[in-house]
Amino acid sequence: MCGIVGYTGPRNSVQPIIEGLSRLEYRGYDSAGICLKLGGKLEILKKEGKLDNLRGLLAQTNPTSQVGIGHTRWATHGAVNNDNAHPHGNEEYAVVHNGIIENASVLKKELQAEGWVFKSQTDSEVFLVLLTKFAKTEGSTLKAIARAFNTIHGNSAFVIMEKATDQLYCVKRSAPMVCGINLTNREVFFSSDPFALVGFAPDIFFPQDSVIGRGTITETKAQIEFFELDLTPSTRFRGQANAISIDATTKGHYEHFMLKEIHEQPALMEKLAAWAIKGQGQSVYNGLKGKEPSFFHITACGTAWHAGLVIKNFFEKFNRIRCNVEIASEFRYREPNLKKDEVGLFISQSGETADTLACQELCHEKGLKTFSVVNTEGSTLFRQCDENFLIHAGMEIGVASTKAFTQQVLTGYLMSMGYAGKLMSVDVYQEIKVLSDRVAAICEDAQTIKAIAEKLYQKKGFIFTGRGVYFPIALEGALKLKEIAYVHAEGYAAGELKHGPIALIDDNMVNIALLGPELFDKALSNVEEVKARRGLIFAIGPKGHSELKAVSDMVYELDFNGLPNLATIMVNVVLQLLSYHIALLKGTDIDKPRNLAKSVTVE
């Protein structure tokens, strides 16, 4: 959620920190700040609101510092204001924090009783005060960090700078952290996201939980050292080249990242299919044959949960594997009946979703094998699972997920075909190719969808309905619209309309009805129920059904031929474009919608 960038090296730290933070704006935030060493003192500049506000503050003095830490905050503890913005600091230390300190209120009372004074309402400042307190008694920053980190509870990541040196420190627990180094330029970077380091650090390292990282610059070299909390050298980190392209962080000729990512889907689908069926992934998916678990516990959040509902249909239909799909924040706090011959399947774009990670840990502790459907190689979820199925979506910057959903569903389908021993069937690859072509045609026909959006965007509310395999798509369509257009939208199983939701129908309520060849007549009868109550109907359904046109105010016709298993993805792309154009007409911040974060790394 919060964005973190730290730098130490020979150049002015302001430029790489601000550039890095700008790349993390997609994660969602409400204030921004930076700490620099100026005249031998730690100086903090921070402003409520967008990063441009901080840029304006920096432009007043154009400061120069060879070490610094920066932060974009997504508020959890304390109001959105300058005092609660990060970094937090004093004369000796400054810290930036991503996560939640669960015992902060208890620790704060104890520290206040000892005479320590707090300047903010945040939990983050508790770590700063603990660090300062322990540094006085331990006489060592490393020892103080270890002791302070052992004192706090909850999932957190910290980057720390100190007055005494130009060194940077980091430590984390179940929260993202990446360390980067540029040996040629003698530079060290710490960040919450490797995307911030693209073009700066060719080599990156992912420390595991409770490992302290220390970045040091000398006259001749840059180095990063890792330590356990007992201060012995640590080998619990993973290094790799930073292979992300700078092109992934630009919009190209598109007005928004979301629109770019919608249009990337046809090529991504074909790329995934080629990799899984004809390329290196073939052994991964073919290796599933004959290894079906007795039960899948599928957990995820938001859009990934909707993908899980679609994937459940594949496993049950083609593999006869029983499945339960549950929201991660609910699964983790009840007492699920888990057996060792079952598998936990966890779906996450970032691989850092806090609730999903907690579910993986629970299943692992109970002796279950754990699988991930994940976009980010090297993420916490990727590292902790027994097997990983990468969705190969590339970097997704738009907060409202589009291409990741498509790739998650497609990955689940490929897994199902692997279990069934049908991965190499010509029909599997051919259906994905047909899907890619149909989605490309929808993207080219965006003006038609835009015209429909122009007729709908001022309506008071939207009810999305679907039966069978289209019910999860109704849920996803409603989520996408409310995320970026800020309108009330709900998804329902079409058969549930008469069990309550139909009371909402009037001439200012829109029913976006999803109909496929499956259960068409039953879904059509639900549309007729809405029409009888003067509801406005936009239907998405098969070509050539005059009765659907007769009962609907607007229809977007689709060709379902050749898509017996993957038509849900095609229908969803229409809803992605509809949501985009409604939001565009309303003038909302499409790529960075209010109050939302791309990667929810706190509970």
SS3 annotation, 338-360: CCCCCEEEEEECCCCCHHHHHHH
Angle made by CA atoms 352, 157, 387, in degrees to the nearest 5: 30
The residues, any chain, with a CB within 8 Å of residue 597's CB and separated by 6 or more, are: 1, 27, 28, 29, 74, 399
Catalytic residue status for 598: yes
Q: In sequence order, what are the beta bridge partners of 598?
A: none
Give all strands (DSSP E) within 467-567, no chain letters: 488-493, 509-514, 536-542, 554-558
- Kind and range of the H or E run holding 567: helix 567-586
Quickly count: other Cβ atoms within 10 Å of residue 304's Cβ. 25
Cβ atoms < 10 Å from Cβ of 186: 18
Q: Which amino acid does the sequence have at 582?
A: I
Q: Specify the pairing of strand 369-374 against strand 343-348.
A: parallel
What HEC string does 294-330 produce? CEEEEEECHHHHHHHHHHHHHHHHHCCCEEEEEEHHH
Tokens 């933070």 -> residue = 21
- Please state, in angstroms and rounded to a whole number, the distance separating the CA atoms of residues 374 and 62: 41
CA nearest neighbour of 583 among 492, 440, 458, 445: 458
Distance between CA 446 and CA 464 in Å, rounded? Answer: 20
45-53 own/partner pairs: CB under 8 Å, 24+ apart: 46/82, 46/85, 46/86, 46/87, 47/82, 47/85, 48/80, 48/81, 48/82, 48/85, 50/25, 51/18, 51/21, 51/22, 51/25
- Contact between 328 and 302 under an 8 Å Cβ cutoff? The reply is no
2 noted as active-site residue = yes
Q: How remote is the C-alpha of 11 from its chain's centroid?
A: 32
Classify 235 as helix, strand or coil.
Answer: coil
- Return the amino acid letter for 180: G
Give the type of residue at 39: G
The answer to whether 493 and 464 have CB atoms below 8 angstroms apart is no
DSSP element (H, E) containing 528: helix 520-531
Catalytic residue among 2, 35, 301, 385: 2
Residue type, 291: K
Task: Annotate 378-399 with b (16+ C-beta within 10 A) or e (fewer).
Answer: bbbbbebbeebbbbbbbbbbbb
The CA distance from 394 to 335, in Å, is 36
Helices (DSSP H) in 385-519: which residue ranges? 403-420, 426-444, 446-456, 471-485
Tokens of 454: 């122009």
Q: Which residue has the tokens 């069934």?
A: 420
Query: How far apart are the C-alpha atoms of 95 and 169, rounded to whole Å?
Result: 9
Tokens of 42: 């730690």
CA distance 174 to 166: 27
DSSP-derived 3-state class of residue 375:
coil
Q: Which residues pair with 370 in a beta bridge?
A: 344
Task: Return the active site residues.
Answer: 2, 598
